[in-house]
Amino acid sequence: MKLHKESKGTITVATILFIIISVLAIYFLEMWSLLIIMPLLVVYSLVFWFFRVPVRDILEHRENVIAPVDGKVVMIKEVEETEFLKEKAIQVSIFMSPLNVHICRYPVSGKVIYKKYHPGKYLVAWHEKSSTENERTTVAVESMTNHKVVFRQIAGYVARRIVFYCNEGDQSKAGHEFGFIKFGSRMDVFLPLDTEIICKIGDITKGGLDVIARMKD
């Protein structure tokens, strides 16, 4: 199983803690140490599972909007996007649990025209205000269909580290990685009002594969 590059520090710390606690448990508890070691092994295995990088066949897209993350669609509504677009847009929000793949992908193909990191609070990721008050990043892309699309990584109550690798001027390819979030959070995508929304609330998405909307060319 391939592991994400963001896993190095977390797995190193988890390995050291696992070894120390296991050794202490064996020394002090002897045969009863399994009561400590076995649950600890499950948690240790979940750390590796969280940082997995699945193999996915990413296709070329022009007007399609691709699910940027694995998760569940929790919001589809018309909102005022005040940071970059400064106009009404359709917001599609996808919530990620700690068991989902947490690679963040470009939802559309085009050119990166804006990026910004915002420090903030750590409200639960499904809270509506988390989109504007939590620690977050905002990226805007000029799509191949000549639309401006904004998408936002949002830290949640558990997630305390967001990374994004794109820069203004970069070419974005729908479905390809641009960042990562630890350990459970949300992605918001803001689309033009005339976009055809294909997904619905409650849908389970696979990042890089599922088409969630289609923009007019």
Q: How many H helices and E strands in the chain?
A: 3, 14
Q: Print burial letters for 75-88: b (CB count within 10 Å at least 16), e (below 16).
A: bbeebebebbbeee
- C-beta of residue 117 within 8 angstroms of C-beta of residue 137: yes
Q: Which residue among the candidates 7, 143, 172, 185 is catalytic per the annotation? A: 185
DSSP character for 30?
Answer: G
- Is 97 known to be catalytic? no
- Coil, helix or strand at residue 149: strand
Q: Can you spell out the DSSP letters for 75-90?
A: EEEEEEETTTT-EEEE
**Active-site amino acid positions:** 185
